[in-house]
Structure 1
Amino acid sequence: MAGSAFVFDVLQDAFGRQPSPDRTVVIVTAVAALLAVLLRPVWKIMRNFVTIAHEGGHALAAVLSGRRLSGIRLHSDTSGLTLSKGRPNGPGMVVTGLSGYITPSLLGLAAAAILGAGRITILLWLLLLLLVLMLIMIRNFYGVISVVAAGAIIFAVSWFADSQIQGAFAYAFAWFMLLGGVRAVFELQQSRFRRQAPNSDADQIARLTRVPAMVYVGFFVIVVLACLAFGVRLMLGPVGDLIG
């Protein structure tokens, strides 16, 4: 009986609507996320989380487009690799290639929408589920450590922290994905400009489609900036509200 009551309380906490943090907390988490993206020493560490989302996006797109996922590798230099089997060209490969750089921002936007609905705990649990599914396909030691570490942090916050800490963490996550997605795309173009990334996602898709890689970089820029704009509106409201 006690066990059933415990499960009921857990589910009620998870699926119930939690109050949003104070507006000040939302702004502070935005500033913290911005600093994490702008400060190079911090970004070098935090970019691992963007890479996890990036490679997860490739993996999900591969599966949804009918390809067979072979494995995912995450590297200590914050790069990653997702391998899938299927036709070496065609729509499936294009969709898979396009998905990586936009996934962190789309994930941040989805998180902002869930937070706007007051479902903070559900967001944390969904992130845990995605990490568990991704862990199954990780094929190198560093990748396992990265995903397990990320999962451990989210689990600790969702299980042990009070609602205020959970809310601040969830908002910080959403902000970081939205802002980190933007920086990752601009880093991509910077590397391409310096001719340091001849096999970037944009260049690989360009070779498949015979469309200039800059078109795809432009697509990435439009998507990540649109996600950021909508995310700001969802979490902070219209600009007029901020000024007022």
Structure 2
Amino acid sequence: MIAASVADYLGDRFSVAGELTSLTLGIAVALAVLGVGANLVWRQLRYLVTTVHEMGHVVVGWFVGRTIQSVRLNHDTSGLTITHGRQTGPGIFLLYLAGYPAPSIAGFAVLWAVIYQHAGWAMFLSLIMLLVCLGLVRNVFGAFIVLLQLAALSALWIWNDPRVLSAVLTLIGSVLSLGGLRACLDLLALQRRRGSKSSDAAVLAAHSPLGAVAWCYLFVVFSFGLLVVTAAMVVDQSAALG
């Protein structure tokens, strides 16, 4: 009896399609544009982008066979994923390649899920990602940031209102898509101004013929290109929304 009730409860949340309207979509995208464009708000939103960035390192690190030792999310919105494995070869290259594209890819995936009525699964996978991150994070501030995100999304998943779920996921997807591009532009500006030796771009430069600034430009081009694809998908499907 209890098992059946739990199964029904989870099934209701996995299967929720969401109820996205063109008005909700427009408001969510507008809020994301304003938030990512305003420096004060962007600093707060950057914690979400950094979380996804670090989880990009984690997922690819596992994929290439590296041991993930820890994740840190810092007060200045930077992050660090420490792994153990070979320091040369394609594995370390892919590890450092994964971070900056991750928010843009996640943003596209979330928006695709909402538009094509898979909001419940998008929320579930987001919660799994945050639980994994919580298990790996090793600093108090980082744990606090992840717990805040986890609490907010868990409350929405439990509440299970299709309209609210769609609205919040659309906002999150839009912030990740736009924020992924802004993070790459911020990296480019920092790399050109200070010539960082520890950024992902600098590490990639040490493992390839391209310089760090060139890698920054490639990150920008990728994020911008995926943003265009994401925007085209949203515009194309918005006419079918109520």
Smaller-chain TM-score bracket: over 0.9
* 1:122 aligned residue: 121
Equivalent pair of 1:17/1:117 in contact (CA under 8 Å): no
Report the Cα offset of residue 121 of structure 1.
1.6
Measured in 2, the distance between the counterparts of 1:153 and 1:125 equals 13
Equivalent pair of 2:119/2:166 in contact (CA under 8 Å): yes
Equivalent pair of 2:192/2:213 in contact (CA under 8 Å): no
Listed one character per residue, the Cα deviations across residues 63-114 of structure 1 (whole Å, up to 9, x for unaligned) are: 1111111111110000011111111121111101111000000001111221
Report the Cα offset of residue 155 of structure 1.
0.5
Measured in 2, the distance between the counterparts of 1:97 and 1:4 equals 43
Indicate the larger mover: 126-135 or 152-161.
Answer: 152-161
Equivalent pair of 1:202/1:216 in contact (CA under 8 Å): yes
Equivalent pair of 2:191/2:213 in contact (CA under 8 Å): no
SS at match of 1:100: coil
Listed one character per residue, the Cα deviations across residues 124-183 of structure 1 (whole Å, up to 9, x for unaligned) are: 111000111111111111111111111101011111252111110010011000000000
Equivalent pair of 2:69/2:84 in contact (CA under 8 Å): yes
* 1:14 aligned residue: 13
Equivalent pair of 2:18/2:165 in contact (CA under 8 Å): no
Report the Cα offset of residue 8 of structure 1.
4.3
Q: Does 1:163 align with 2:165?
A: no
| Alignment map for 1:45-194 (pairs within 5 Å) | 45-160=44-159, 162-194=161-193
Aligned residues: 240
SS at match of 2:99: helix
Indicate the larger mover: 196-205 or 148-157.
Answer: 196-205
Q: Does 1:34 align with 2:67?
A: no
Indicate the larger mover: 33-42 or 227-236.
Answer: 227-236
Measured in 2, the distance between the counterparts of 1:77 and 1:116 equals 33
For residues 153 and 19 of structure 1, do their structure 2 counterparts lie closer, same or farther at Cα, with a shift above 3 Å needed?
closer
For residues 67 and 5 of structure 1, do their structure 2 counterparts lie closer, same or farther at Cα, with a shift above 3 Å needed?
closer
Measured in 1, the distance between the counterparts of 2:217 and 2:38 equals 25
Equivalent pair of 2:127/2:153 in contact (CA under 8 Å): yes
Letter in 1 for 2:150: G
Indicate the larger mover: 167-176 or 153-162.
Answer: 153-162
Which ranges of structure 2 fall in alignment gaps of 5 or more residues?
Answer: none
Q: What is the TM-score when the length of structure 2 is the normalising length?
A: 0.92
- CA-atom RMSD, angstroms? 1.9
Measured in 2, the distance between the counterparts of 1:174 and 1:183 equals 14
Indicate the larger mover: 48-57 or 115-124.
Answer: 115-124
Equivalent pair of 2:68/2:84 in contact (CA under 8 Å): yes
Letter in 2 for 1:213: A
Measured in 1, the distance between the counterparts of 2:218 and 2:101 equals 9
Aligned-residue identity in percent: 29
